[in-house]
Structure 1
Amino acid sequence: MNRTHRYEVEVTWTGNTGTGTSGYRDYARDHDVTGIEAGKPTILGSADPAFRGDPRRWNPEELLVVSLSQCHLLWYLALCAKAGIVVTAYTDRPEGTMSESAEGSGVFTDVTLRPQVTITDPTRIGDATDLHHEAHRMCFIANSVNFPVTATPTVTAPNGG
């Protein structure tokens, strides 16, 4: 049975410096992302600094890369739990590449996930590494983008990896 899920957020531009968008350089790119449901913290957003954004705020390109990493992480942890592999630590430093065209539009060309995982049983390192492929196959976000997403995981275990 197929199920449909809906996700609703609110994005509010907060960058009106007094004259609105009277000129390209006359407004800030700042905005707030809030959840419709109470209790979620606000994400402070802006444009990439290359596009006059505030480097102290998250930009949409970073958030896309984060979404891919989070989706992979959550699938991976679930798959490990089901397989009886105990994960005790997981860190990822993903990187995305966007290519900008002469006209100013752009497209992501790739994202690489670099999960570093620690498990308890050194005899399961191979199984734990293989589950990254399944996590990638199952990831909702990776299945929704039109550019390659690759994972180059490292799995270790105390006294064995």
Structure 2
Amino acid sequence: MAGKAHRYAVAIEWTGNTGAGTQGYAGYSRDHQLTAADKPAIPGSSDPHFRGDADRWNPEELLVGALAACHQLWYLHLCASAGIRVLAYRDAATGVMHENGDCSGEFASVTLRPEVTLAPGDDVDRARALHGEAARLCFIARSVRFPVRHEPVFVTG
């Protein structure tokens, strides 16, 4: 691959030893901490369906969040470059993961539903087209092997 290489370092530490380690499947917590450099820790666990803590972030949520954030950041960049004034942006992203009989699984899809508020008079058609360009450029979406769909809604300020 040509171009620049960027490296990302994240540490994970399991904090769920309740005294006997992983002696039994039901006898340990799935809790862990994700850390990177001097950033706040992210409290993690597994999905509650897999004995996790619903109050902590699970890997599936983090993946959907990473896709939504990457798309948003590219979209805002492209709009700024095109002279389109985004006044607000929010997304209600969802992902669908299928669990297989052998307990493996994979994501089938993620759908991003950005609601974009544009300044009055800005070109909604051009703003809509930039979602396709953001999807093409998003590092995270380009790295997954399932479809990432986009269902944008536009509001003019």
- For Structure 1 versus Structure 2, the TM-score category normalised by the shorter chain is over 0.9
Once the two structures are TM-superposed, the CA of residue 104 in structure 1 deviates from its matched residue by: 0.3
Aligned match of 1:150: 149
Aligned match of 2:59: 60
Aligned match of 2:27: 26
State how far apart, in whole Å, the 2-side matches of 1:119 and 1:47 are.
Answer: 38
CA contact (8 A) 2:135 2:141 kept: yes
How do residues 42-53 of structure 1 correspond to structure 2 at under 5 angstroms?
42-53=41-52
Q: Structure 2-normalised TM-score? A: 0.97
| Letter aligned with residue 31 of structure 2 | D
State how far apart, in whole Å, the 2-side matches of 1:155 and 1:130 are.
Answer: 12
CA contact (8 A) 1:117 1:153 kept: yes
Q: Structure 1-normalised TM-score? A: 0.95
CA contact (8 A) 1:48 1:54 kept: yes
Aligned match of 1:107: 106
How do residues 68-83 of structure 1 correspond to structure 2 at under 5 angstroms?
68-83=67-82
In the TM superposition, structure 1's runs of 4+ consecutive aligned residues that sit over 4 Å from their partners are none
Structure 2 residue runs without a partner (length 5+): none
Indicate the percent of aligned positions where both proteins have the same amino acid.
54
Once the two structures are TM-superposed, the CA of residue 110 in structure 1 deviates from its matched residue by: 0.3
Aligned length: 156
| Letter aligned with residue 69 of structure 2 | Q
Aligned match of 2:18: 17
Once the two structures are TM-superposed, the CA of residue 122 in structure 1 deviates from its matched residue by: 3.3
Deviations 1:17-72 (A, max 9, x none): 0000000001000000011x22x111000000000000000000000000000000
Structure 1 residue runs without a partner (length 5+): none
| Letter aligned with residue 70 of structure 1 | A
Once the two structures are TM-superposed, the CA of residue 156 in structure 1 deviates from its matched residue by: 1.6
CA contact (8 A) 1:87 1:119 kept: yes
SS of equivalent to 1:122 = coil
